[in-house]
Amino acid sequence: MMKSSTKTLGDLIDTTEIAASRPIYNQLLAELDSTDIYDDSILYGYWFQPHAACIINIFLHKDNTYEFKYCENGKGDEVKDILKTGKYSFNGEVITLTSDEGWDSYFNGVIYYKHNGTCYYLTDKKDGFYLVKGSD
């Protein structure tokens, strides 16, 4: 009987290279148990907009701080990348983000933690964005 020479995916991928190219995943591993990273019933972690993670995402840290990145339309075709940081509080389904720079009329600093029967997600009051949990 001949032994199969089929390589597994693990044989083909250099995991050291992957870990180095995934800074958010490394940060998640430092803060959470590996089983918690994708568990959307746990609020802490990295949340992003599907198919548009570079446009809007938020990292909720265990120490109740956050990093919120989003894009805002400027004058003409200009698009500005915004990074807000600060503290957050959680009460029921309401997450209140406090930012030293404050908020504008488009976003008031409140996000809702909802469950649609299948999974948890984050959204704003206008349902302008829908964030799911994952890694980079």
Helix then strand then coil, % of the chain, to nearest 5? 15, 40, 45
Residue 4 maps to a domain? no
More confident residue, 32 or 9: 32
Q: What is the pLDDT of residue 8?
A: 47
Tell the residue number behind the tokens 């075709």, with chain if given.
77
Q: What is the pLDDT of residue 76?
A: 76
- What kind and span of H or E run contains 25? helix 23-31
Taking the C-alpha atoms of residue 68 and residue 61, their distance in angstroms, rounded to an integer, is 11
Taking the C-alpha atoms of residue 88 and residue 98, their distance in angstroms, rounded to an integer, is 6
Residue 1 maps to a domain? no
Residue 115 sits in which domain range? 10-134
Residue 31 maps to a domain? yes
Report the number of distinct structural domains present in the chain: 1
Residue 50 maps to a domain? yes
Residue 2 maps to a domain? no
Q: Give me the CATH number covering residue 114.
A: 2.40.128
Q: What is the pTM of this model?
A: 0.77
Number of helices followed by number of strands (H, E) in the chain: 3, 8
Q: Tens digits of per-residue pLDDT, 83-119?
A: 899 999 999 899 999 998 888 777 788 999 999 989 9
Taking the C-alpha atoms of residue 85 and residue 101, their distance in angstroms, rounded to an integer, is 9
Residue 98 maps to a domain? yes
Residue 10 pLDDT greater than 50, yes or no: no
Residue 19 maps to a domain? yes
Residue 3 maps to a domain? no
